[in-house]
């Protein structure tokens, strides 16, 4: 039984061990990337919302792709999958289900924000 999960039904939105592996074990880089993602996410969501409001499938695809990339590096799998769904909808030009996909992405980002903030504000021990 995994006791690190606690009583929460939802897993942690970031697999920190996997994220650390993805950045080659450089904790300082992971902390920096978490801060960058935290700062960039509002603009990315705004771009996605604007593309949807304008019915611009290509812009939706690009904005969702960019956000997905940031989330993948951080091993934020649920959020990156939600961004990937929006990217695919943009690529297909079929925006009929995009509002629901955006709601899912926004929910995942809401879960992710406090974890990103915690990570971005964490202490990094000096490298020897």
| CATH at residue 95 | 1.20.120
- Residue 127 resides in a domain: no
Q: CB–CB of 34/119 below 8 Å?
A: yes
pTM of the model: 0.85
- Residue 14 resides in a domain: no
- Residue 16 resides in a domain: no
Q: Is 120 exposed, middle or buried (0-12, 13-18, 19+ CB in 10 A)?
A: middle
Counting the structural domains of the chain, the total is 1
- Residue 60 resides in a domain: yes
* Residue 78, domain extent: 30-119
- Residue 25 resides in a domain: no
Q: CB–CB of 71/37 below 8 Å?
A: yes
- Joined together, the tokens standing for residue 80 give 């990156």
Question: Closest Cα partner for 12 from 102, 79, 66?
Answer: 79
Each residue's pLDDT tens digit in the chain (128 positions)? Answer: 333 444 446 678 999 999 999 999 999 999 999 999 999 999 999 999 999 999 999 999 999 999 999 999 999 999 999 999 999 999 999 998 999 999 999 999 999 999 999 999 988 766 54
């Amino acid at each position: 039984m995994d006791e690190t999960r606690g009583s929460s039904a939802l897993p942690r939105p970031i697999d920190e061990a996997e994220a650390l592996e993805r950045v080659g074990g450089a904790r300082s880089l992971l902390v920096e990337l978490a801060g960058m993602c935290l700062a960039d996410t509002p603009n990315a969501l705004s771009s996605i919302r604007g593309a949807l409001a304008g019915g611009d499938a290509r812009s939706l695809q690009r904005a969702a792709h960019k956000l997905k990339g940031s989330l993948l590096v951080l091993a934020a799998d649920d959020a990156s999958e939600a961004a990937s769904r929006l990217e695919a909808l943009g690529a297909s030009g079929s925006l009929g289900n995009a509002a629901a996909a955006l709601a899912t992405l926004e929910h995942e980002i809401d879960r992710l924000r406090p974890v990103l903030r915690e990570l971005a504000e964490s202490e990094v021990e000096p490298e020897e």
